[in-house]
Chain A
Amino acid sequence: MILPGLAYLAVFFVVPFYSLARTSLSSSGGSVFMPELTFAWDFGNYSQAFGLYQDQILRSFGYAFVATILCLLLAFPLAYVIAFKAGRYKNLLLGLVILPFFVTFLIRTLAWKTILADDGWVVDLLGSVGALPSEGRLLSTSWAVIGGLTYNWIIFMILPLYVSLEKIDPRLLEASRDLYSPNRRTFGKVILPLALPGVLAGSMLVFIPSVGDFINADYLGSTQTTMIGNVIQKQFLVVKDYPAAAALSLLLMALILVGVLLYTRALGTEDLV
C-alpha cells in the first residue's frame, strides 16, 4: 500500500536532489539562452556561492529568527484564550483564525504594501509616537519584511500551540492551584512545559518557510533586504547560473535538514500536522 506513494516521492522528491547536487558540481558554459552544463566535481561553486552571498544567508536566518519569535509572542495569547477561555465560541474563533489564510498569500502581502505605505495611517501613528525605524518609513525596511514573514506564517504557530494547550488536562491546573502555586508559577511550571511540543513544532513550521521566502523581501523590502530565496530565484530564472543557484539551494537545505532531523529525533513527527 505504501509503494505507489513512496515511489512517487522517490522519483519526484529524492531524485531531484540528485539532479540538484549534480548541477551544483557542474561547471557552466554556453550563453544565458542556452546554458551548457558539464559535470566536473566543481566544489568551487560552493565556496563561491557562500562567499558572494554570505550577507543574504545571514540576513535570511536573522529575519526568520526574529519572525519566529514575533509569531510566538503574538500567537501564544490568542491560542491560550481560544484553548482556555473561549467556551462555546472555541470553534468559531478557530474558524476566524484560519479564514484570512483563504486569501492568496501574494494578495495578502500586497495588502501590507498598502497598509505600510509612506502616507498610510500606520506610519502616521508610529511617527507620532516616535516609533518609526531610523529610515523614517516602514516600507522597504527590514521591519516590513520581518512583519510580512510574521504575518504570512503565524497560522502555523497558532494551530500547533492551540493543539498542545488544548490537550492540557484542566485538573492539572486545578491541582497546581490546590497546592497553593501562584498563577505565575502554574504558568511557568505546568502550562509552559506542556505547551513546549507546540512551541517547537510551531517554531519549525514558521522558521523554515521564512528562511526560504523571497516574496516578502520582493514586495515589502528593498535591495538592502534581499534574502537567500531572492538570490536562488534570480540565479535560476533570470541569470540562469544554475551551478551557483543549485549550490546555494543545497547549502540552505543542508542547514535546515540538520535542524529537522534533530527535531524528529527528539520529538517524533506527530505534532507537526
Chain B
Amino acid sequence: MTIQDRIAEANAQIGEIKPKKPFLGGLRFGDSALRVVAGLVLFYLFLPIFVIILFSFNDPKGKFNYTWQGFTLKNWADPFKYPALTEALKMSLNIAAVSTAIAVVLGTLLAIALVRQRFRGSKAVDTFLVLPLTAPEVVMGASLLTLFLDFGWASGYVTILIAHIAFEISFIAMTVRARVRGFDWTLEDASMDLGATPTRTFFKVTLPLIVPGIVAAAMLSFALSLDDFIITYFVSGSTVTYPLFVNAAVKAAVPPQINVLATAILLISLLLLAIGTLYRRKRIDS
C-alpha cells in the first residue's frame, strides 16, 4: 500500500467532518500520480514528432535518414531540392482542396436533411452513412479498384478524387450533423414569419448558424485527404501524392527534405490553430 493509498483511505474515513474537497480529490492512485501518467502518455504522443523535427536537421551520409549523423541547416535552406517531392505535395494539396470542396456541398446537404426531418428510413440512412467510415481502408481501396477495372477507367487524378470524395462525404455529413443537432430551428420560422423568402432565410439565418460546423468539418476533411495513403495507393495509377512519394522513398532513398516539409506543415497547422483560437476569443470578448 502506497502512502497515497493510506492518505486516501484516511481521508475517506474522516470524509464526513472534512470540508468538501474538489470532486474526486484522490482517485485510487493519487491525483498527482494520475497527472504523471497523463503527462507520460502526452510525451509518448510527441516522441515521434520530436524525432521528425530533429532529423530535419540531420546530415545523413547514406540514402536513408534513420540514424543521427550531424547537425546541419542545409535541408532547411533548400526545402524544395527534390522537384518530385514538391510536385507530389502540390498534387496532394490540389486533391485535398478539390475533393473537399465537392464533398462539403454533398455532405452538408445530407447533414441538414438528417437533422431537420425525421423521414421514413432516416435511421437506415444514418447507418448507411457510418459504413464508409467503418469500412477498412484496404477494403474500400480494393472495391474501388475493382469498380474502375470493371468500368475500364484508367487510374489517376480523377479516380483519386472520386475515392477521396467518397470517404469525405460521410465524414463531413456526420461531423456537421453533430454540430447542428442542438440548433433552434424555430429561428427559420421566425425569419419567414417576418416576411423573408425561403432562399433569403437560408442565406441569412440557416447558413450563418451552421457555418462554424461546416468549416471545422472541411478542415478535418482536408487533413484526411492530405494524409490518406491506403485508399489512394489502390487507385492512383501513375499519379504521385505526398504520402505515395514518402512510401516510394522508404523503398529507395529517404531525403531529409521529407522531414523538413513535414515539420513545416506542422508549424503551419499550429499557426492556423492559434489564429483560429485568438480570432474566436476576440469575437467572444467584443
Q: Residues on A close to B: CB < 8 A?
A: 1-2, 4-6, 8-9, 12-13, 15-17, 19-20, 22-23, 74-75, 77-78, 80-82, 84-85, 91, 93, 95-97, 99-100, 102-108, 110-115, 117, 119, 151, 154, 170, 173-174, 177, 180, 182-184, 186-187, 204, 208-209, 211-215, 219, 228-229, 232-233, 236-237, 242, 245-246, 249-250, 252-253, 256-257, 260-261, 264, 268-270, 272-273
Contact = CB atoms under 8 A, between A and B. Distances in A.
Contacts of B139: 20, 212, 232, 249-250, 252-253
A107 B269 contact: no
B136 A256 contact: yes
B250 interface: yes
Given A74-B41, A114-B66, A272 B137 contact: no
Nearest to B274: A95
A12 B265 contact: no
B46 interface: yes
A103 B146 contact: no
Q: What does DSSP make chain A's interface, helix, strand, loop or mixed?
A: helix
Q: How large is the interface on B (under 10, 10 to 19, 20 to 34, 35 or more residues)?
A: 35 or more
B72 interface: no
Q: Pick the most buried of A112, A114, A209: most chain B CB atoms within 10 A of its CB.
A: A114
30 contacts: A1-B109, A2-B109, A2-B125, A8-B106, A8-B165, A12-B162, A12-B166, A13-B166, A20-B147, A78-B41, A81-B34, A81-B35, A97-B45, A99-B49, A99-B269, A100-B45, A103-B48, A106-B250, A110-B250, A110-B254, A111-B47, A208-B136, A209-B137, A212-B138, A229-B136, A232-B138, A236-B142, A245-B142, A253-B136, A257-B131
A192 B227 CA distance: 34
Nearest to B36: A77
Contacts of B35: 81, 85
Given A2-B114, A114-B55, A105 B136 contact: no
B38 interface: yes
B266 interface: yes
B145 A106 contact: no
A91 B109 contact: no
B149 interface: yes
A204 B169 CA distance: 20
Given A12-B162, A102-B265, A256 B134 contact: yes
B175 interface: yes
Interface in B134-188: 134-140, 142-147, 149-150, 162-163, 165-166, 169-171, 173-175, 177-178
A110 B166 CA distance: 28
